[in-house]
Amino acid sequence: MTTLEAGNQAPNFEAKDQDGNVHKLEDYKGKKLVVFFYPKASTPGCTAEACNLRDNWEAFQSKGYEILGVSADSPKRQQNFKNKYELPFPLLADEDKSVIEAFGVWGPKKFMGKEYEGIHRTTFVIDENGVIEDVIKKVKTKAHTEQIL
């Protein structure tokens, strides 16, 4: 598992969002970008996290940030999640896990005593030149905006 840290160049990713539009790292050159990885669309923690970012969307916009959500859900699931909670940012449907693996957030997890492979809830803050400014591994789903800004 690659461990990306502040100061590293962000991986040059490419993936489709809920509507089939392709997003690449280079599309965000000159902008600050928040890429948040979440385990599964519409689950309680992921919903709290996404809605916290949604509720603070204007604060992000005023500071020049774009936001991308990423999980291994299908485009349809991402679309339902986005529509249901009126999320103003794209959600990447990374079904082949290429973006997830490039950022090194896939790996062993424990839940209720069981071990399994999954997405580690992690957020990357990337600057205008594609350099990682911050990696947030202990995400507070209900206060995530404060952690980022």
pLDDT in tens, 85-107: 999 999 999 999 999 999 999 99
pTM of the model: 0.95
Residue 30 dihedral angles phi and psi, to the nearest 5°? 85, 0
Q: Active-site residues: which are they?
A: 46
- Which CATH number is 140's domain given? 3.40.30.10
Instruction: Let me know if residue 2 belongs to a domain.
Output: no
Is 8 among the domain residues? no
- What residues of the chain score a pLDDT lower than 70? 1-2
25 in any annotated domain: no
Query: Is 94 inside a domain boundary?
Result: yes
What is the model's pLDDT at position 57? Answer: 97
Range of the domain at 127: 14-18+33-148
What pLDDT is recorded for position 115? 93
Split into its structural domains, the chain has a count of 1
Are 112 and 121 contacting, i.e. CB atoms less than 8 angstroms apart? Answer: no
* pLDDT at residue 112, as a whole number: 86
- Backbone torsions φ then ψ of 53, nearest 5 degrees: -70, -40
Tokens of 139: 């995400």
d(C-alpha 28, C-alpha 31), whole Å: 5
Q: Is position 28 within any domain?
A: no
The answer as to whether 4 is a domain residue is: no
